Chains A and B, each alone.
Chain A
C-alpha cells in the first residue's frame, strides 16, 4: 500500500473514534445515529472511502437503496485497497442474491485482510452456495488455522474436503480433531453427530469394516445419541460387507419400526432371497410375530401370485374395507401392473359385493358395503370404464349421500371422461358437505380452474387464505403453493391469457430460486450445530431441486409460449388495447389511479416514525408488472426460455419433451449444434416420438434454407449429426409417408404426419383427410389427442371442423369438451349457479 493511500485512509484520532462509533452503531442497528456520525466524518473528509461505504450501507438498511448503492460504489472506487470497502460491497451484493459478484468482492476484501473472521465466514458460505469447493477448502483451512479453538472450524474443514471429493483428507482432519478432544460428556449431541459423520466418511471411502468397527465402539461407549441412526447404519454396513449378522441387524430394525418398507427390502436383500416364495415365507413369519404391522402384509401381495395371491389379497382387502380405509385403492393400484393380479382383484371385489350386499342373508355392515362400492368405482375408473364407474358411484351415493369421497371420485371420473364442468359440480357438492376440510376446498378450487372458472376458483381459495392478504392468489403465492400456481398458469393459458399464464410460470421459477437461496444460512448454521449428515443430504437435495415435476411443467409450458411469441410477435398486440379510451373509461382509470395513490399516502404517515427500522439488505418485492404484459412483450423471449430450460438438461434428461423444447429454442437462437444434439438425445429416448418426427422435418427445412454450412469446428459435427438423424437421400415426403404407414394406429403419430404435410405445403384437403383418418376404427383415439387435433383444425381454418367436432362428441358420450362454444358456456353457467336450497318451497315448520 502506498503511503498516499495510507494517508488518505487514516483518520485523526477524533474522526478515528467517530468511525469506530459508526461501525458499532451499524452493528447495533442504530441507523439514524450511525448516519449522523458518518456525515460528521464526511464533512471534514468528504473523500474518505470507508466512511462513504458505511454510510451507503446504512442507507440501504434504511430503505434508501439507490442512494446507498451509489455511495458504496463511490466509496469503493475512492479506496480500492480497503478491506472494509470491499466487505461492504460484498454484503450489498449478497443481499441482492448476486452470489458470484459478492464472492469476488469478498475475495478482494480478503486480499487486504487475510485473517478477518467475518469475511472468511461469509466467503465460506458463498463458496458453499456456489459449489466452489476448491476455494471452500482454502477458506475453511484459513479459518481453522486462525481459530483452532473453535471446534466447528475443524468439522467445517473436514466437510469441505469431503465435498471437494478428498475423502482421505476429510478423514485425517476428523481423526486429528478427535484426538484433540478432552472431557467430552456422555451422550453429547454435537459429538454424537460428529461421530456419525465420521462413520459416513469411512463408509464413503469404502472401508466398511473400519466404519462398522468405529460405529460399534462409539455406540457402546455412550457417545452416539441417535439410536435409530446407529441401527440403520449398522444394518446397511453389514449388508455391504455381506456379513451373516446383517439379517439380525435388519430384523432388529423391523422390530423397532414394523411399518417401514425399507427395512423389509434390506432384510430380503441381505438374505439373498431370490425366489418370491422364499420372500413370502419370510414375510408370513414376520406377520405372525407382529400381527398389527401393515407393511409385511402389503409386501406379501407383491410377492405372491395365483391362488395364494387371491387368498392374501382377499384377506387384506376385507380387513381394510371393514375398517373403512379410504386410501385402499391408492395402496393397491400399483399391483394392477400385473394383469393376472388385476383380474384376481376384480373377481374378489365381485365376491365381496355379493357377500356384503344388504339384500344378502347374513347381517352386514352398511359401511363395509359402501367402501366396497367406492373401491370398485375407483377400480373401473382406473380401467377407463367410466360408465361402469359412474353407475357404481350412483348406487353408492343413493346408499350414503353424505360421504365426500364419493363425490370426489365422481369428479375425478368425469374429469377423465372429458367433462370438466360436471367434475367441478361434483367437487362443489363434496366441498359443501364439510366446510372446514381444506383438502376438499383445494380440490374444488382446482377443478374449477380446470373448467376455466377462474374467479369462482379464487373465491373458494379465499375461504381458507389469510384474510389480510391482498388477494387469495397473493397469499398462495406467498405460501409458495406450487399446486395452485401451476394450475392457475395452465388455466390462464387454456383461456388464451398468455400474459397472465407467463407471469405465473415466472412466479414458479421465482419460488424455486427462493428455495435454492434458502440453503444459504445452513452453510454456517449446520457447522455451528454439527448436524453434518443431514446438511450433506440438503446439498444433494438442493442440487436436484429443479427435477421437480412442477418446475418441468412450468419450464416446458413457458418455453412454448416464448417460442410462439418469437414466431409471431403480433400476439403481444392482441393484449395491449390500441384503441383510444373513451372518456368514460379515461375517467374510470383516473379514479382508480387516485384511489391507489391515496392508499399509498395513507400508508406513508406510518413510515416516518420508523425510519430507524432496519429493512435489511434484501431487495423488497415490488410487483411492477401486475398484468404480465411487460413480460409478454419482453425483448428476449428465447433467452429467457433457454434459461428456464437449462437445468432440465441435466436433471430431467430422460424426459423427451425437455429435449424437444430445447431444440425449439436452440434452433431459433441459431445454436445449431445445441439443437441437433437435443434431437439426438430425443432420438435415443424414443426414435418414433411424434413430436420428434415434426422437429426432424423442421430441421431438414431449416438446413436446406441455411445460406451456408455452419463454420468449423461445429460444421462437421453438425452435418454428420443431421445425417444420422435424417439421411440426406430421403426426401421429406417419403420420410413422412413412411412414418405414417408405420404408425397408422397411433393418433398422435398421424397428427405429426399431418403437421409435416402442412409444412410441405400439402393441399389443405389432404391434411384434413389425414387428421380425419384418426376417427377410423383401427386408430386408438384418446380424448386428449382428439382435443389437440380439433384445436389444430380450428387453427388451420379447416372447413370440416364441425364434422370432426361432432364425430368426437359422439365417440366420447360422457365428454363435454367437444360441445359447441354456446353449449359449453351454458354448462359453465350451470356450474357457477349451483343452487344450495330452494327457500321458496313448501315450508312445513
Chain B
C-alpha cells in the first residue's frame, strides 16, 4: 500500500475579530513582550490587511506577521512590529515566505512605501542574519528600546524599496 507523499501546505490568512484570539495566543507564546489592547485593535484596520497575516502550516496556525504604516513628513514607511513562528515549525522557510509576501506587496503598494524597518534585540544574532539575508541593513542601535527585558538595546534594520 503506498503511503501518501507529504507536501506541506503553507497558507496565509487576513486578520479578523474571529481569529484575533489565535493571534493573541501565538504572540503570548512566541514573544517575551505583552502587547496592548490597542495593538490588537490596530492590526484589524482594513488598510493594513495586506500587511498583517496569520501563517498556516498544514492548516494549523503557527505564525504571525504584523506591520503598521508610519508617516515621516511626506514619506510613508512600513514598520514591522512582530513576526514569529512557533518553535517546532521554524527552519522551514515559513519566516522567509511571510517576509517575502510582505515585501512583494509593499513594493507594488499604492501609497508608495519608502522603506521597511524593524527592531531586533541585540542578543538575537540569528534574527539579524535572517533579515540581512533578505536585504536588510543595520542603520543604527536604539539604546534602551526594551524596558522590561535584557539586554535593553535593539538594532534598527532597514530595507528601502
Interface residues of A (CB under 8 A from B): 287, 291, 297, 315, 318-319, 322-324, 358, 365-370, 399-403, 431-436, 836-839, 841-845
Contact = CB atoms under 8 A, between A and B. Distances in A.
B88 A399 contact: yes
B37 A367 contact: no
A369 B146 CA distance: 36
Contacts of A399: 86, 88
A757 to B, nearest CB: 54
Given A434-B22, A837-B37, A843-B35, A366 B88 contact: yes
Nearest to A370: B60
Contacts of B36: 837, 839, 841, 843, 845
B3 A318 contact: yes
Contact of B34 (A297, A400, A843): A843
Given A434-B19, A435-B21, A843-B39, A401 B29 contact: yes
Contact of A842 (B17, B29, B62, B148): B148
Contacts, number: 101
A400 B62 contact: yes
A297 B4 CA distance: 14
Nearest to A311: B1
A365 B8 CA distance: 8
B59 A324 contact: yes
Given A365-B6, A400-B60, A434 B33 contact: no
B18 A435 contact: yes
B8 A433 contact: no
A400 B58 CA distance: 12
Interface in B1-38: 1-4, 6, 8, 16-22, 24-26, 29, 33-38
B95 interface: no
B34 A322 contact: no
A232 B19 CA distance: 46
B60 A432 contact: no
A402 B148 contact: no
B24 A836 contact: yes
B80 to A, nearest CB: 11
B17 A366 contact: no
Contact of B33 (A322, A323, A366, A844): A844
A433 B26 CA distance: 10
Contacts of B148: 842
Interface string B33-67: 11111111000000000000000011111100000
A837 B40 contact: yes
A838 B19 contact: no
29 contacts: A319-B4, A324-B58, A358-B88, A400-B60, A401-B26, A401-B29, A402-B60, A403-B60, A431-B21, A432-B21, A433-B22, A433-B25, A433-B61, A434-B18, A435-B20, A435-B21, A436-B16, A837-B34, A837-B35, A838-B34, A839-B36, A839-B38, A841-B34, A842-B147, A843-B39, A844-B33, A844-B147, A845-B36, A845-B81
Given A324-B58, A843-B34, A843-B35, A402 B22 contact: yes
Given A842-B147, A845-B39, A402 B8 contact: no
Contacts of B62: 400, 402
Nearest to A838: B34
Nearest to A432: B21
A207 to B, nearest CB: 44
A435 B17 contact: yes
A323 B4 contact: yes
Contacts of A845: 35-36, 39, 81
A433 B60 CA distance: 12
A367 B35 contact: no
A399 B87 CA distance: 8
B152 to A, nearest CB: 11
Nearest to A436: B18
Given A366-B89, A837-B37, A843-B39, A402 B18 contact: no
The 10 lowest CB-CB distance pairs between A and B, nearest first, are A435-B18, A432-B21, A366-B88, A841-B34, A436-B18, A367-B58, A843-B36, A402-B61, A839-B37, A842-B148
Contacts of A287: 1
A370 B37 CA distance: 31
B26 A322 contact: no
Interface in B134-152: 145-148
Tell me which of B4, B22, B40 has the highest count of chain A C-beta atoms within 10 A of its own C-beta.
Answer: B22
A406 to B, nearest CB: 10
Contacts of A841: 34, 36
A319 B3 contact: yes
A403 B60 CA distance: 7
A130 to B, nearest CB: 50
A319 B60 CA distance: 18
A405 to B, nearest CB: 10
Contacts of B40: 837
A434 B62 CA distance: 14
Contacts of B147: 842, 844
Contact of A434 (B4, B21, B58): B21
Given A323-B4, A839-B37, A843-B35, 6 more contacts: A315-B1, A367-B58, A402-B60, A838-B34, A844-B147, A845-B35
Contacts of B34: 837-838, 841-843
Tell me which of A315, A318, A367 has the highest count of chain B C-beta atoms within 10 A of its own C-beta.
Answer: A367
A513 to B, nearest CB: 38
B29 A837 contact: no
Contacts of A843: 33-36, 38-39
Nearest to A365: B6
A323 B8 CA distance: 10
Interface in B62-93: 62, 81, 86, 88-89
Contacts of A839: 36-38
A717 to B, nearest CB: 64
A318 B21 CA distance: 31
B103 to A, nearest CB: 20
A401 B58 CA distance: 15
A644 to B, nearest CB: 41
A401 B60 contact: no
Contacts of B19: 433-435
Nearest to B61: A402
A640 B125 CA distance: 76
A291 B36 CA distance: 52
Contacts of A366: 57, 88-89
Given A400-B86, A402-B61, A838-B34, A322 B25 contact: no
Nearest to B145: A844
Interface string B118-143: 00000000000000000000000000
Contacts of A402: 22, 25-26, 60-62, 86
B58 A365 contact: yes
Nearest to A843: B36
A34 B100 CA distance: 75
Contacts of B26: 401-402
Nearest to A841: B34
Contacts of B81: 845
Contacts of B8: 365, 367
A839 B41 CA distance: 12
A716 B139 CA distance: 105
B29 to A, nearest CB: 5
A402 B37 CA distance: 20
Nearest to A844: B33
Nearest to A297: B1
A448 B127 CA distance: 43
A843 B40 CA distance: 12
B91 to A, nearest CB: 10
A568 B84 CA distance: 64
Contacts of B22: 402, 433-434
Contacts of A400: 60, 62, 86, 88
